[in-house]
Each structure stands twice: as C-alpha cells, then as structure tokens.
Amino acid sequence: MSRPVYDSTVVRVEATGERFSYLNNANGDWLCVDDSGVLTTQSYVNDAAIWRVDGAGFSHAVADISIGATSTEIEHTTQLTLVGDAVSSGGRTGEAADFMVNHGPERLPSEYLAELREKGWVSLTCILSPSVVDDLQRIGCVDDYENESPERVNPIVHPAMTKVTVEPISLWIMREYMQTRDVKLGHPPGVSALTRDDGKREVQGWHTDFPYLWGTGDRVPLPSGDLVLGMQRNTCISEFTQENGATIFKLGSHASNAAPPDEWGITNHTFRRGYRAEHGLPYGGPDTDVIVAPAGSMVLYDSRTWHRAGVNNTDRKRGAMIQAFIPGFIIPFMDTSNMYKMFLESDTADQLTARDCKELDNLMVHKIMGPAGLFAITTDDDLTKRVRDQMASA
Ligand SMILES: [Fe+2]
C-alpha cells in the first residue's frame, strides 16, 4: 500500500536582506567589545563580536560603541579608528592594523541559540558569504557548475571547505547547546549532490542522527535527557526546495527522546530490497515538516529530531553538506584523521587564517587525555583487518 508522496507542512525560511558584519584581524580573531565595554579581540563569535555598518564606519550590535573605518565593503581590508585613534590588531588603540570586513549573520547569535533551545532546531539563514557558496557549488558541481566534472582531489584541500566547516556562529551555538567546549566532527566533511529520483531506488527512512541512530542502528541504548550527545548541521549549498529533496522533519520530536514510529518507514526497514516497491516512500504526510531554505543557509538541529531525506524530483542536482557534531567524549562515526592529514600536507592553510586552521584542528583531531598522557585517536589498519576477518568468518 503506497503512502502519499508529499503533504508536509512547508516551513519556509527566507533571507531578511539585513546583514551584520564581522571585523577580523590578520590572525582571524574577531574584534569585539568585552563585558566592561572595552574594545578587544576574541577567538569565537557571540553577540560581543557583531557589528553593523553605520554610515562610513561600524557600530556595535549590542554595546554603545562606534568606530570609524576606511572601508565597510565586504571581504575587503579596512583600518579602524576609535574616537580618532587607530585600532591595533588586538583591539586597543595604538598602531593601525588591517582588519577584514566579513559577512556576518542576519540575527544576533544569542537569538539563534534561544530559538534552538526553544524548538530544537534553528536556521542560520544565508549565514555563508556568496563567495563561499559559489566555491562550494563549484566543488560539488551543482548549480552553475553542474555540467563540470568533479576534480580528482580531496575536497578538504579547498579553503571553502574549511571556511564552511569552522563557521563560527554554528560552532558557538553547538558548544552552548551541548554544554561543552570540546566539540568534534563525527565524520570527515564532504559535499553531496542529490540527483533526480528514479522512482525505484531504495531510500533513507525515518531516523535520528549520530550518535543516537534510533531507527537506523539504535546506537544509544537509553534516552539521554538533558545530556545532548549530538547535533546536526545541514548546509544548503543549493537552495533547498520541496521539489529538489529538502530534508523532511518532525520538528520538535527531539523532545520525545524516542525513536520515530516504525509505521512511518524507518531506515532499518526502508533500505531492504523491495521495500519501496511494496510500501512506497516513507511517510511524508501532514504530521511532517519540510524546511525550505536559500543557498548558503545552515539548518542546525538536535540529533534526536526525527527526519528523513527528501527525494529530488527535478533535473537539477541539489548540493548539501551534512555534518554531525559530537562532544569529545563520543567516539566518531568515521575516522577524520586521514582527511585531516591530507589537509596538513597541502598548502591550503596558507589561504586561511591561523584561527580557521586552529578550529579545524579542534574539530578533526580526536583526543584522549588519560593517566598515560595525551594521545590522538584514529583507526588501526592491523586491527581493522582482524575485526573484518572475524566478522567475515562469523
Ligand atoms: Fe539523518
């Protein structure tokens, strides 16, 4: 018995056209105003690091501070003045330093965090700069680049891959929401391109994401309550539409701390050969939500949120970066160390700030600190062969 293909509630997130700015020094740190109202720099983005263009300079989004600027143009350098005195790279007045004006968010970081805590998901709409989105579309061979062939290099060597991976507001929000500074990637970053559905291929069913995987492996044995073991960040490289396969959610279902219902078609069942021919697509009826968002947006959600992939009913490929984030005490889903070593062996770091590189290192090197000292954790080829042989002979 086939289920109806689509009757989801469409949740449309749209660009407001408003835009804050970041002001970054040469190290990549953010010019900010500290709690006592003093201009300084910091290594992360919260409300203290948010500026708006104000005439020929910038005014702080929260604090009562305005600064002069030689330029307010995005992705251009500028020199800043505070009450006529030059601003140095550390934020104090002194020797004039170059800052980069960068593409900031539409809203304050604290507003996004409050919405995530209330709803279990939030859209950072058009959070990526148009130049990064264009680079990602080129890497993924989607949108204007869909007739091009993928390059035979690992995508990690492209600076845009690091820039999107270390996007600062999503990381600050995830650290706050998971209540730990030690946040890691659950798998290596990559760009996916969803092609037109053929009406036959087996599809992903309803599930929760890593590490819970309820509905697709059931990895975490009990509800974790206030302890958040994972967050997901879906980056729209192409615009996400209902027609091109935007993810289908049951928004708010993270609060149930439970698996999606079997009768909706869970991944444990839908990937079985012949399932689709017999049952059709997994449930997509009125109890579900599809988030439609412009390219360059990031949708963050609690990994316990029930969802499934949409299907692409258009002839255009739809690009996305789907990333799982976990606290450092969770074992990752896939090894990230080999891809990170490829990054280190390339000259990509020369095109990034020291801050971007440090953050990528934070996210991709899994560590253990124990009585014997500090170690980086990775997979072991010899033991991998051994366990695979054991499984094959079992
Ligand atoms: Fe998922």
Q: Which residues surround ligand 1, an ion (CB under 5 A)?
A: 209
CB 243 within 8 A of CB 314: yes
Q: Which residue has the higher pLDDT, 6 or 189?
A: 189
Is residue 16 situated within a structural domain?
Answer: no
> Which residue, chain included where needed, has tokens 């219902």?
261
Identify whether residues 231 and 263 lie together within a single domain: yes
Identify whether residues 76 and 119 lie together within a single domain: no
Is residue 376 situated within a structural domain?
Answer: no
Identify whether residues 45 and 120 lie together within a single domain: no
Is residue 41 situated within a structural domain?
Answer: yes
CA-angle at 248, arms to 156 and 246, nearest 5°: 50
CB 272 within 8 A of CB 278: no
Tens digit of each residue's pLDDT (9 = 90 or more) over 147-169: 999 888 888 999 999 999 999 99
Identify whether residues 112 and 94 lie together within a single domain: no
pLDDT band per the 50, 70, 90 thresholds, residue 2: very low
At residue 151, the pLDDT reads 85
Ligand 1 mean position, distance from CA 209 (Å): 5
Check residue 132 and give left, alpha or beta (phi > 0: left; psi -120 to 50: alpha): alpha
Look up residue 15 and give its two tokens.
């660009």
At residue 344, the pLDDT reads 97
Ligand 1 mean position, distance from CA 300 (Å): 12
Domain that holds residue 221: 108-368
Identify whether residues 181 and 66 lie together within a single domain: no
Ligand 1 mean position, distance from CA 186 (Å): 13
> What CATH number did the domain enclosing 352 receive?
2.60.120.620
Ligand 1 mean position, distance from CA 245 (Å): 13
Residue of 296, 297, 355 lying closest to 100 (CA atoms): 355
pLDDT band per the 50, 70, 90 thresholds, residue 5: low
pTM for the model stands at 0.95
Structural domains in the chain (count): 2
The whole-number average pLDDT for the span 22-37 is: 97
Identify whether residues 112 and 98 lie together within a single domain: no
At residue 4, the pLDDT reads 46
CA-angle at 126, arms to 125 and 128, nearest 5°: 125
Tens digit of each residue's pLDDT (9 = 90 or more) over 199-225: 999 899 999 999 999 999 899 999 999
Percent of the chain at pLDDT > 70 equals 98
